[in-house]
């Protein structure tokens, strides 16, 4: 979904008294940890918006070999989850501009982030919103899955 259209939908939802939850990430290879995290994020409000890092943004964060899955496919898979209401791809290195534009009531990140390092925390809290850190599912990560695949197949698929 484009940002302008999403902003209009979220304004209307807020007028109806709905709480908007926002989270973001690469979501390169969707796994059980992601699903658990997204379900918990959605339970915090009425609408869950997921910001997905663009391919260029993922490469800047994770390195030239990532993402494994292109941004359009990552967004499509996320949007198919019943707990996700809207998906928007962003190209910036951080979601700050997107958070400023969408004005979520609740900003969610994984508990691996220190609260003071969460991008957009000040923006959300200055509007009366809150930041929630959700514990991650132990032993599940995209990097771990990629590593395991490489070990199993010796770098060959």
pLDDT of residue 1: 78
The domain in which residue 36 lies consists of 3-153
pLDDT at 84 over 70: yes
One DSSP character per residue, 62-127 reads: H-TT--SS-HHHHHHHHHTSTT--EEEEE-SSSSHHHHHHH--SEEEEETTS-GGG-TTHHHHHHT
pLDDT of residue 155: 64
User: Which CATH number characterizes residue 126's domain?
Assistant: 3.40.50.620
Give residue-wise pLDDT tens across range 18-55. Answer: 999 999 999 999 999 999 999 999 999 999 999 999 99
**For the chain, what is the mean pLDDT?**
94
Domain total of the chain = 1
pLDDT of residue 142: 86
Q: What is the mean pLDDT of residues 51-63?
A: 95
Give residue-wise pLDDT tens across range 114-147. Answer: 999 999 999 999 999 999 999 988 888 888 998 8
pLDDT of residue 36: 96
- Asked whether the beta carbons of 102 and 4 are under 8 A apart, the reply is no
């Amino acid at each position: 979904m484009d940002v302008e259209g999403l902003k209009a939908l979220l304004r209307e939802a807020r007028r109806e008294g709905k709480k908007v939850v926002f989270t973001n990430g690469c979501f390169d290879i969707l796994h059980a940890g992601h699903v658990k995290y997204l379900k918990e994020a959605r339970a915090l409000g009425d609408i869950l918006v997921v910001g997905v890092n663009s391919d260029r943004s993922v490469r800047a964060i994770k390195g030239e070999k990532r993402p494994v899955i292109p941004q359009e496919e990552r967004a499509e898979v996320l949007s198919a989850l019943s707990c996700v209401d809207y998906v928007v791809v962003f190209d910036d290195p951080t979601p700050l501009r997107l958070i400023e534009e969408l004005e979520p009531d609740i900003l969610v990140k994984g508990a691996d982030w220190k609260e003071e390092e969460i991008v957009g925390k000040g923006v959300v809290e200055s509007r009366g919103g809150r930041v929630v850190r959700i514990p991650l599912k132990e032993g599940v990560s995209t990097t771990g899955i990629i590593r395991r695949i490489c070990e199993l197949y010796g770098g060959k698929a």
